[in-house]
Amino acid sequence: MSAFGSQDMSAPLQRVLMRRPGASLMNADPAQWHYGPTFDGTRAVHQYREFARLIEQSGTEIIWLDDEGDGLADAMFTHDPSLMSDHGAIILRMGKPLRAGEPALHEKAYAERQIPILGRIEAPGTVEGGDCVWLDARTLIVGRGVRTNQQGIDQLGALLAPHGIAVLGFDLPLWQGEDACLHLMSVISPLADDLALVFAPLLPAAFYQLLKARGIRLVEAPADEFHASNGLSLNVLPTRPSEVIMVEGFPATRAAMEAAGCTVSTFAADALCIACEGGPTCLTRPVLRRAA
């Protein structure tokens, strides 16, 4: 059985599931997939290679999914179709209909590596991984919004409760509408156990209060860069506590994290992350996060 387990957002990233973009992204219709004006398939593939190089440099083992032209352009955003726990993977059910085929790719990859499946979210429930944040190993926070519904949150709770894990749902704002994507992780990126980058104006108020009550230090994402990037300035991936990867071009956000003690690596991603509405966290599904 392969090593797996992740109930932490910033512990050392030891194994990760990723998908190289290929024909499906290169041939994607930007209007159908809600990609922005800076989308360029060839440049996106090149920028992805640089991101993957940063992951490899961190010492993380990558489990690769290949894009063999299945038409699933968003499948490079591997964070969303499954969730990993210390008790096995949970196969999620996507709120975006165009992404409905993606969870099966994850289930196949886990089966091939003898990683157990704890359960599956079934219709009419929907949960996307970008709406799920481990507050600690016994508390999973889930954003209830366009992509994740209450039925999905209830099913997630039923799967995790036998393992002593509480699932707490919080309402997300609609913000830019149903077609745009506001996940919970659009407004919070944990950087270490006691540190998170947030855009407070869009955080659920009760979740904000919970973070403060837990003593988690909040780095406020600069509003101008948040809005200029449609929130992607805040989508930051820790490869270990306080060591993070972010999209380049947002110096004030980078400086705010560095002032809080973080080491920050960046990569060009205008054709990839900015255009396709998903950042470094979205491009990864942690399979094993744990101190060595």
pLDDT in tens, 174-224: 876 676 678 999 999 999 999 999 999 999 999 999 999 999 999 999 999
Q: What is the DSSP letter of 156?
A: H
Predicted model pTM:
0.97
Measured CA to CA, the distance from residue 164 to residue 115 in angstroms comes to 21
Mean pLDDT computed over 217-233: 96
Q: Angle at CA 244, nearest 5°, toward 242 and 247?
A: 150
Q: Which residue has the tokens 């101190």?
A: 291
Chain segment 17-29, per-residue pLDDT in tens: 999 999 999 999 9
Average pLDDT, the chain: 96
Query: For 13-289, CATH number?
Result: 3.75.10.10
Mean pLDDT computed over 126-151: 97
Nearest CA to 39 out of 31, 30, 48 is that of 30
Mean pLDDT computed over 259-283: 97
